[in-house]
């Protein structure tokens, strides 16, 4: 079976995510209420099927189905909220490892800097300095309405280094990776704490005029079972399959 190397490490992560989901549902959710509500949902569906020639009963069954479904969603809400934060933290880290590919040799990309304040058009634009193995092919292009400045770069050979953006207020850096291999990549270095949840691979930018710096890396898929899918799709499929297989062992209903 042809399986990408990254997939071999994602499978146990997906399995553990499914086990973690079951553990949270068992500890947090009201399992007895969930089972009763699911039984009531089935009863409403059977009423719709059995009493098709009784409009009053059909109307009551439809009403009860909506009310019971709302109650079921409410019972799912608390464990879903408890799972949200660790999933955000997990997905941010996994995206850095599984979601991005380093620039291939000869491949071009765009480097963009987002400024916090509008440009002063009386001053020169920022400049970009690249490490050995990367060439900056264009001068700075400012998009005044968006407060952005961009450059086009090209990878000449395998490199692991830092881009340097030179501003009147000082210099800020952004890591860049090129060449073959599996890397832990950061497409964007940010200044906001909330943005750091989704872009955790580099420390926050220092206080200054820059909101974020981005290198547009190519996205990648993962191959398994003859399919090429995004890592998040595989993670959801593996974790849900694990949860469904093990839910009786954990005595969990959802």
Please tell me which residue, 234 or 89, carries the higher pLDDT value. Answer: 234
The percent of residues in the chain predicted with pLDDT above 70, rounded, is: 99
In a 3-state reduction of DSSP, which class is residue 194? helix
The reported pLDDT for the residue numbered 238 is 95
3-state secondary structure of 200: coil
* C-alpha 85: how far from chain center: 12
pLDDT of residue 2: 63
- DSSP assignment of 35-74, as one string? HHHHHHHHHHHHHHHHTTT-HHHHHHHHHHHHHHHHHHHH
Instruction: Give per-residue pLDDT as tens, 5-51.
Output: 788 889 999 999 999 999 998 999 899 999 999 999 898 888 888 88
111 Cα distance to chain centroid:
21
Please give the residue that has the higher pLDDT: either 148 or 3.
Answer: 148
Selection from 76, 163, 152, 138 nearest residue 108 by Cα: 152
Q: Residue 161: what are its φ and ψ, rounded to 5°?
A: -155, -155
Question: What proportion of the chain, given as a percentage, has pLDDT over 90?
Answer: 57
Q: Are 92 and 140 in contact (CB under 8 A)?
A: no
Residue 153, helix vs strand vs coil:
strand
Q: Note the pLDDT of residue 52.
A: 78
**For residues 198 and 195, what is the distance between their CA atoms, to the nearest angstrom?**
6
Residue 1 reports pLDDT greater than 60: no
Confidence of residue 101 (pLDDT cuts 50, 70, 90): very high
pLDDT of residue 154: 96
pLDDT of residue 169: 84
What residues pair up with 108 in beta bridges, in sequence order?
154
Q: Mean pLDDT over residues 49-63, rounded?
A: 83
Strands 148-155 and 134-136: antiparallel
pLDDT, mean of residues 201-224:
92
User: What integer pLDDT is reported at residue 166 of this predicted model?
Assistant: 93
Dihedral angle over CA of 245, 247, 249, 253, nearest 10:
-150
**What secondary structure letter does DSSP report for 253?**
-
DSSP conformational letter for 134: E
Mean pLDDT of the chain: 90
Run of H or E residues at 167: strand 159-167
SS3 121: coil
* pLDDT for 163 beyond 80: yes
Distances (CA, A) of 109 to 21, 178, 217: 38, 11, 7
pLDDT surpassing 90 at residue 4: no
Q: Determine the pLDDT at residue 66.
A: 92
Which pLDDT belongs to residue 120?
Answer: 82
State mean pLDDT over 119-138. Answer: 90
Specify the residue for token string 């993670």: 235
């Amino acid at each position: 079976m042809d399986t990408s190397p990254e997939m071999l490490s994602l499978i146990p992560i997906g399995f553990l995510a499914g086990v973690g989901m079951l553990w949270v549902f068992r500890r947090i959710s009201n399992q007895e209420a969930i089972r009763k509500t699911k039984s009531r949902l089935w009863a409403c569906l059977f009423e719709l099927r059995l009493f098709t020639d009784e409009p009053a009963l059909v109307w009551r069954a439809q009403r009860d189905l909506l009310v019971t479904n709302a109650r079921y969603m409410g019972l799912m809400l608390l464990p879903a909220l408890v799972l949200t934060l660790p999933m955000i933290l997990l997905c941010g880290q996994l995206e850095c490892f599984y979601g991005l590919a380093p620039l291939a040799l000869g491949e071009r990309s765009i480097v963009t800097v987002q400024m916090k304040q509008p440009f002063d058009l009386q001053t020169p634009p920022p400049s970009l300095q690249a490490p050995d193995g990367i060439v900056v092919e264009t001068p700075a292009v400012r998009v005044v309405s968006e407060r952005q400045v961009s450059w086009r770069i090209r990878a000449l050979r395998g490199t692991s280094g830092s881009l340097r953006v030179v501003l009147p207020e000082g210099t800020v850096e952004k890591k860049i990776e090129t060449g073959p291999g599996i890397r832990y990549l950061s497409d964007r270095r940010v200044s906001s704490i909330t943005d750091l949840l989704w872009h955790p691979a580099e420390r926050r930018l220092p206080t200054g005029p820059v909101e974020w710096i981005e290198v547009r890396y190519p996205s990648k898929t993962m191959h398994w079972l003859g399919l090429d899918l995004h890592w998040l799709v595989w993670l959801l499929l593996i974790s849900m399959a694990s949860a469904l297989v093990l839910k009786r062992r954990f005595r969990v209903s959802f």
